[in-house]
Amino acid sequence: MKLLKKILLIIFLLVFVVIIIGFVYEHISRAYVKNKYPVQGEMVNIGDHRLCALQEGKGEPTVVFENGLTDGHIVWNKVQNAVSKFTSTLSYDRAGILWSERGNNPKTVDAVTTELHTLLQKTGHKGPYILVGHSIASVFLYEFYGKYPNEVAGLIFVDCQNPDFVKYKNDFPRPNKHADWVFNVKSLSGLVRLFEPYTYIYSNTQKNDKINKITSAYFPVTYVALNEESWRDCDMAYDALKVISQKGSFGSVPIIIITATKNKFSFMPSDEQRKLWHNRYLESQNDYLKLSTDSKHILCDKSFHHIQLDEPELVINSIKELVDKYRKKENMNSEKNK
């Protein structure tokens, strides 16, 4: 019996030492990563935490970029750099992603859009805004318009999931939900860095390109927030649907839908399922057109999911179209008031 207790004690001490080593290893790794890949942009205090924001360009309207599920603001670099030559721009990392601090707000569509609006106010961007979102960002664009309709001059959905797509929720694979503390422990103990490295390579990039290196290096830091958003994906979409159903539509606010069709749903196990989901997706993308009296749909058969990387000129030109439309309208109103 005494021998068993000694063995259990030794095992406990070994596990404890390994955990401590893991926490120290992760702490040192994060310090190294922070030094090697410092903040791209500036840290803006929005209350109990800071968000990383990159501001470029001058003029109205301000173009605001919202990211997809696993992305930080650097995914917009090509597009933002070009757009900032003719108007003001702002991209940022949502709470807990890359350089942005997590804070205490829940990962809900309401909290995310409130934080974005606070960020825009803190950085002196009073609107109007042209909102450009990618993938899951559709739910945040919907909500932002629902909360601040008079501050939205136009919207561009870059291969965005239409919140109405959640009608297929029960047919679609979804990540398992775990308690937040599980993700925190895995993240802080070095387990993610050692055993769950982020190996995704963005389309139209090389493995050693900066965007891939930064995303991979910061993945253990952003792991918790990413998982929070992943399993809440459908719930966020339902929240956004409620918002737009209450508003009715975007009215006459111009919207542009840009949809990638290359290898869509390639992860599905059969050609039949791939075709089914592809058709469902295109149907939901076309439904966007009904949301505004001024809408346009662009199909991209040369792009994968990240159109802003595969065909950035399509996104840039779409933004330029809405910026010009807004300025023309403002000039006409100015002439009428003279």
Domain residues for the domain of 18 are 1-36
Tokens 């997590």 correspond to what residue?
A: 102
CATH number at residue 73: 3.40.50.1820
pLDDT in tens, 72-85: 999 999 999 999 99
Q: Report the pLDDT value the prediction gives residue 154, as an integer from 0 to 100.
A: 96
0.85 surpassed by pTM = yes
Q: Do 67 and 3 belong together in one domain?
A: no
Q: Do 68 and 194 belong together in one domain?
A: yes
Q: For residue 169, is pLDDT > 60?
A: no
pLDDT in tens, 280-336: 778 878 888 888 899 999 988 888 889 999 999 999 999 999 999 999 988 887 777
Q: Report the pLDDT value the prediction gives residue 222, as an integer from 0 to 100.
A: 87
Taking the C-alpha atoms of residue 279 and residue 254, their distance in angstroms, rounded to an integer, is 25
Q: 307 φ, ψ to 5°?
A: -60, -35
Higher pLDDT, 113 or 272: 113
Q: Do 247 and 320 belong together in one domain?
A: yes
Q: Report the pLDDT value the prediction gives residue 127, as an integer from 0 to 100.
A: 84
CB atoms within 10 A of CB 323: 21
pLDDT in tens, 240-290: 556 555 556 788 899 999 998 876 766 666 777 777 777 777 887 888 888
Non-local CB neighbours of 169 within 8 Å, separated by 6+ positions: 234
Under the banding of pLDDT at 50, 70 and 90, the label for residue 54 is very high
Q: Do 8 and 148 belong together in one domain?
A: no
In this prediction, what percent of the chain has a pLDDT beyond 70? 86
Non-local CB neighbours of 166 within 8 Å, separated by 6+ positions: 234, 237, 238, 241
Q: Report the pLDDT value the prediction gives residue 248, as an integer from 0 to 100.
A: 60
- Residue 108, classed as helix, strand or coil, is coil
Question: Which tokens is 56 given?
Answer: 């470029």
* Average confidence score pLDDT of the chain: 84
Q: Do 148 and 236 belong together in one domain?
A: yes
Q: For residue 35, is pLDDT > 80?
A: yes
Assigned domain for 168 exists:
no
Higher pLDDT, 125 or 251: 125
Q: Do 104 and 14 belong together in one domain?
A: no
Assigned domain for 60 exists:
yes
Range picked from 22-26, 43-47, 164-168, 265-269 for highest mean pLDDT: 43-47
Number of domains the chain is built from: 2
Q: Do 204 and 117 belong together in one domain?
A: yes
Q: Report the pLDDT value the prediction gives residue 66, as an integer from 0 to 100.
A: 97
Q: For residue 107, is pLDDT > 90?
A: no
Cis peptide before 175 (omega within 30 of 0): no
Taking the C-alpha atoms of residue 282 and residue 249, their distance in angstroms, rounded to an integer, is 20
Q: Do 130 and 186 belong together in one domain?
A: yes
Question: Which tokens is 41 given?
Answer: 């942009």
| pLDDT average, residue stretch 87-100 | 96
Residue 253, classified by CB atoms within 10 Å of its CB into exposed (0-12), middle (13-18) or buried (19+), is buried
CB atoms within 10 A of CB 330: 14
Q: Do 11 and 107 belong together in one domain?
A: no
Interior angle at CA 91, CA 267 and CA 29, nearest 5: 70
Q: Report the pLDDT value the prediction gives residue 251, as an integer from 0 to 100.
A: 86
Q: Do 251 and 270 belong together in one domain?
A: yes
Q: Is the Cα dihedral 103, 106, 112, 116 positive or negative?
A: negative
